[in-house]
């Protein structure tokens, strides 16, 4: 069973294991925790933080606002005039602009979407109505802070969070000789966490790797 942490106990453990309880390092610990959490979420591609959100098209507008905190989109659907659930296919930005360069000057049944910005999707073709849009997105969860003293990661994957924090801590402290040690421990625990999650009935589970994504 994984060690669990609160914000206070994780802070204390980091100070002990880095042998640094100074004010400068301690004041940087919130940033270290955030960086570590972001790394774990990317490395594990956690679906535990996926949410389904309903919004709507704006007529003659080729963009749709993403849910707050969305960091990756799994699926995007809209409900057509007959009440059918229609999936919109994800494509690259270059692909959708080549397919649908007219933006809002002409409307058509939405067929593709791409990331337009950190907060919006670009839709091709441009919707003519205000159909309901349903998204399934990975949401950046609320992190561990002095005000939010426990999280799913800190309670159920505390050891993984600790070693991710230690890597970031030693990078901050410029202790190069210890970075590799903590990285090795982190990778070992990452593999174990991936196996646990894969066994938890996650049919479409696939850990994120550094393999380049082929352009669609």
Task: Indicate whether 213 belongs to any domain.
Answer: no
Domain C-terminal end among 130, 151, 169: 130
Residue 120 per-residue DSSP state: E
**If you average pLDDT over residues 118-139, what whole number do you get?**
93
- pLDDT tens readout for residues 52-63: 999 999 999 999
- The pLDDT tens digits for 18-32 are 999 999 999 999 999
**Cα gap 51→5, rounded to integer Å:** 25
Q: How many domains does the chain have?
A: 2
Tokens coding 78: 């809209």
Average pLDDT score, the chain = 87
Give the percent of the chain with pLDDT over 70: 88
Same domain, 180 and 148: yes
The pTM is what?
Answer: 0.61
Q: pLDDT at position 48, please?
A: 64
Q: Where are the alpha helices (DSSP H) in 62-134?
A: 93-99
Instruction: From 106, 130, 154, give the residue that closes a domain.
Output: 130
- Domain hosting 118: range is 58-130
72 shares its domain with 32? no
pLDDT for res 47: 63
Distances (CA, A) of 144 to 8, 36, 64, 117, 140: 10, 10, 30, 26, 12
Give the model's pLDDT for residue 203. Answer: 39
Assess whether 12 and 119 both reside in one domain: no
Instruction: Verify that 43 and 64 share a domain, yes or no.
Output: no
């Amino acid at each position: 069973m994984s060690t669990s942490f609160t914000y206070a106990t994780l802070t204390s453990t980091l100070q002990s294991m880095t042998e640094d309880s100074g004010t400068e390092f301690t004041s940087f610990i919130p940033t270290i925790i955030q960086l570590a959490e972001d790394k774990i979420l990317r490395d594990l591609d956690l679906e535990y933080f996926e949410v389904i959100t309903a919004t709507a098209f704006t007529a003659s507008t080729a963009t749709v606002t993403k849910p707050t905190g969305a960091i990756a989109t799994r699926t995007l659907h809209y409900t057509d005039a007959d009440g059918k659930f229609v999936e919109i296919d994800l494509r690259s930005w270059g692909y959708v602009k080549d397919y649908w360069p007219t933006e809002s000057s002409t409307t058509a049944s939405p067929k593709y979407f791409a990331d337009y910005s950190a907060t919006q999707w670009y839709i091709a073709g441009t919707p003519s109505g205000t159909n309901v849009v349903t998204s399934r997105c990975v949401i950046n969860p609320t992190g561990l802070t002095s005000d939010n003293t426990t999280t799913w990661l800190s309670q159920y994957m505390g050891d993984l969070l600790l070693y991710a924090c230690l890597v970031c801590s030693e990078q901050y402290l410029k202790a190069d000789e210890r970075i590799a040690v903590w990285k090795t421990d982190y990778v070992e625990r990452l593999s174990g966490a991936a196996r646990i999650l894969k066994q938890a009935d996650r049919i479409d589970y696939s850990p994120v790797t550094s393999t380049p994504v082929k352009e669609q």
